[in-house]
């Protein structure tokens, strides 16, 4: 069957989610969830690699990309339930999930609360508790007052190693521009969700296969964060790759190899 590419949106009472699908719907589903301040285009190297063997689903997290920006503070529960609604919309009973940073927190929440809907969960460059609540509240206040430009101007140093920034300036500029052009209110709402999100006491409930991917140069969610998560989750696997925070873009071949090995596929 030929590779199919399709984009659409779902609308609930609360949010309109933009998504794209790639590949054969009869294959196993693999859904990707973006990081804070990015959109589904961040997964292009993963889409290209996995669409031959999986039914790939990418979506823009609420207030990101072409998804809508509901008013009010967000919660991790809402971010997770958005994924469940998308799977229901696509009539997918069970999928594998891969999320990075904020998307990785969403993946942890899904593994805790909806294990029956997922074969495996991959969480990259994330932690059970990312950063400190006050820092997220301060960032939310900053972007509401000054917009996203100040955050976008410094994002590259958090996202990538200096070598990658120097060698891939166009990629870095495109991602920074996407961040600057996003919804300041939606970004602030997600910061407030991250301020409250803390799954440290619940990780032990996870009993489905989990792969944790950590960037060896990640200043935001460190290898130590990944090691701690591995200790809490029964039978979790940990893979370290030579990258900073947005590891799927900085080291796509290593990132994809980790996923292929974990999912047991040969592409």
Q: Which pLDDT tens digit goes with each residue over 176-213?
A: 999 999 999 999 999 999 999 999 999 999 999 999 99
Torsion of CA 53, 54, 57, 58, to 10 degrees: -40
CB 64 within 8 A of CB 19: no
- Partners of 16 in beta bridges: 11
Q: Which pLDDT tens digit goes with each residue over 135-166?
A: 999 999 999 999 999 999 999 999 999 999 99
Torsion of CA 231, 233, 236, 237, to 10 degrees: -40
Q: Which pLDDT tens digit goes with each residue over 17-68?
A: 999 999 999 999 999 999 999 999 999 999 999 999 999 999 999 999 999 9
Mean pLDDT score of the chain, rounded to an integer? 94
pLDDT value of position 3: 53
Q: What is the strand order of the sheet 55-59 is part of? A: 5-11, 16-22, 55-59, 29-33, 95-100, 118-124, 210-215, 237-241
Q: Which pLDDT tens digit goes with each residue over 225-266?
A: 999 999 999 989 999 999 999 999 999 999 999 999 999 843
Rounded CA-CA distance 117/91 in Å is 12
Domains of the chain: 5-129+198-263 (3.40.50.1820)
The closest of 36, 9, 35, 11 to 189, measured between CA atoms, is 36
Residues of the chain by 3-state class (helix, strand, coil), percent to 5: 45, 20, 35
Rounded CA-CA distance 207/212 in Å is 14
Those residues whose C-beta lies under 8 Å from the C-beta of residue 233, and which sit 6 or more positions away, are: 203, 204, 206, 210, 212
Crossing angle of helices 184-196 and 133-146, in 10° steps, is 170
Residue in the block written with tokens 């999912």? 263
pTM as predicted:
0.95
- Partners of 97 in beta bridges: 31, 121
Residue in the block written with tokens 């709402």? 189
């Amino acid at each position: 069957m030929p590779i199919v590419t399709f984009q659409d949106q779902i609308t609930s009472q609360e949010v309109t989610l933009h998504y794209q699908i790639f590949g054969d719907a009869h294959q196993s589903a693999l859904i990707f969830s973006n990081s804070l301040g990015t959109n589904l285009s961040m997964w292009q190297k993963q889409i290209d690699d996995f669409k031959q063997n999986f039914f790939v689903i990418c979506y823009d997290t609420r207030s990101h990309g072409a998804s809508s920006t509901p008013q009010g503070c967000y919660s991790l529960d809402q971010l997770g339930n958005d994924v469940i609604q998308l799977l229901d919309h696509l009539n997918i009973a069970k999928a594998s999930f891969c999320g990075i940073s904020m998307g990785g927190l969403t993946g942890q929440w899904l593994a805790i609360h909806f294990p029956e809907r997922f074969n495996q969960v991959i969480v990259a460059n994330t932690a059970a508790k990312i950063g400190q609540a006050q820092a997220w509240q301060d960032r939310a206040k900053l972007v509401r007052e000054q917009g996203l430009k100040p955050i976008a101007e410094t994002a590259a140093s958090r996202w990538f190693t200096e070598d990658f920034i120097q060698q891939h300036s166009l990629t870095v500029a495109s991602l920074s521009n996407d961040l600057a052009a996003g919804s300041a209110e939606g970004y602030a709402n997600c910061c407030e969700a991250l301020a409250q999100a803390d799954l440290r006491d619940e990780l032990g409930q996870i009993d489905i296969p989990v792969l944790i991917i950590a960037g060896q140069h990640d200043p935001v969610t460190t290898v130590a964060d990944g090691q701690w998560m591995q200790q809490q989750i029964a039978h979790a696997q940990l893979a370290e790759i030579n990258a900073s925070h947005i590891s799927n873009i900085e080291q796509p071949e290593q990132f994809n190899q980790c996923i292929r090995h974990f999912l047991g596929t040969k592409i």
